[in-house]
Structure 1
Amino acid sequence: MFGIDQISWGQFGTFILILLALWYLSVILMAIAHQARFKRNHPFEEDQATSFAPENLRPIAVSSLDLPSQLIPFSLEMAIALPVSFYEETGLDEGYAISCFARPNDSRLPAILEQVQYQQ
């Protein structure tokens, strides 16, 4: 039926490759034609289109007198105290030797573990 049993895999592969080549060639040619049709000599940032830069705008002057005085405070009415905390030197922390934790029978271990947060 339709001659499918007479086509070899080589002919089928060649047919698929030709179709793919024609497809990609048409896409590339359409992209080149589209690019040639919409060729720009300057980037968008330098474009002087009238819709982006209308000429009917004029600058206006704004003064602080135009705003209510409540929005712009001149000075604070009272002093705000800023709390300062100083770093207090507590001395050199020499830590504990690994041998204290490696020996389960060490007498210092229960006292150390009371001061240290650990998870079992």
Structure 2
Amino acid sequence: MTTGQELPTILEAVRWLMNLSELLESVTRPGGELEKLDEERIAAKARFEKQYARSYLVATGTVEDRKQKAILQTIEDRFALETAEAKVKACQERVRTLRAQIDVGRSLQTTVRSELEALGRNP
């Protein structure tokens, strides 16, 4: 698209919208980035919970001692889970951003069309 205060042409706005739509599709389609990241998050959560339960069950001592031992033994699994969750959230935010940009593009296209009509040109 153009830079500065200059309005893009309708063709530029359409191309921009098409590019944004393709990006959005690549992230949200079945088997796309968001789905893959969510599957990784689910797997990381299952690994963490399984390891935590195992560690807790084999630990000895008071209930609090057993909890703390399980936490220490599963810290890497917990980190992997939190990392996977952060990646999903970042991807979801990117989806929201792409949708907002598409809305801006639609508004821009409408503005350009109105400007052309006001100038007596057929968009």
Common fold by TM > 0.5: no
Which structure features the higher share of helix residues? 2
Structure 1-normalised TM-score? 0.30
Higher gyration radius (CA): 1
Higher-RCO chain (CA-CA 8 Å, sequence separation at least 6): 2
